[in-house]
Amino acid sequence: LAAVGAPKAVDTPLGTFLTEALQLDPAVLKQLCPANVLRQATVQHLRSIFLFLEGRMMGGGPLSTLHPRYRAPLGDDLREMLDTAIRGQLRVAVVLAAIRDLVTGPLSDPTGNWSSNDSLKQFLGFVDAELGMEPWFNDHFPDPLKLAHAGACLTLLSAAAAQTNDDGFELV
């Protein structure tokens, strides 16, 4: 956002951001977006708004296109490991963004040939190279999780993010 001259405050109203930072015509915005959204939504809501709209356009969200081999449920042990990481040092929003990109990208490609037994942690590091270098990720994201668990992990991380997200938009 700083690259386009956006104010640094995440609580900047969306309307202000769009007209001042992105120089969009206020008259055009009034035709495209409800006034309440322009006044009440803020810059911090942009990702959630995008995900909400993308989910509606995809007809069911990111899981709707996920290949079946990546939809295995988490067993009790794996779920507890991920829950522990979520309650601990794991930065849920950062990991959620990476796993969502993985699920809506390579793991939804019908021609994709990734083994469901490959490491989810390793693939998340491929999707987001900076994430793969973060000590909090390497130390706390559970190693035993496989690509087969990608859908279940996305669901669990989304639920955890929603508990701390008060913007009213669904993340998955």
For the chain, give the percent of residues with pLDDT over 70: 81
Average pLDDT over residues 76-80: 97
Give the residue from 84, 170, 96 showing the smallest Cα distance to 131.
Answer: 96
Place 124 in a pLDDT band, splitting at 50, 70 and 90.
Answer: very high
Contact yes or no for 149/78 (Cβ under 8 A): yes
The letter for the amino acid at 122 is: Q
- Quote the pLDDT of residue 43: 79
Using alpha carbons, list the distances in angstroms from residue 6 to 23, 29, 31, 130.
Answer: 11, 17, 23, 23
Apex 121 CA angle, 96 and 163, nearest 5: 25
- Quote the pLDDT of residue 85: 95
Using alpha carbons, list the distances in angstroms from residue 13 to 61, 162, 172.
Answer: 26, 21, 24
Place 113 in a pLDDT band, splitting at 50, 70 and 90.
Answer: confident
Place 37 in a pLDDT band, splitting at 50, 70 and 90.
Answer: confident
126-157 confidence digits (pLDDT tens): 888 899 999 999 999 999 999 999 999 999 99
Instruction: Supply the pTM of this predicted model.
Output: 0.69
More confident residue, 171 or 91: 91
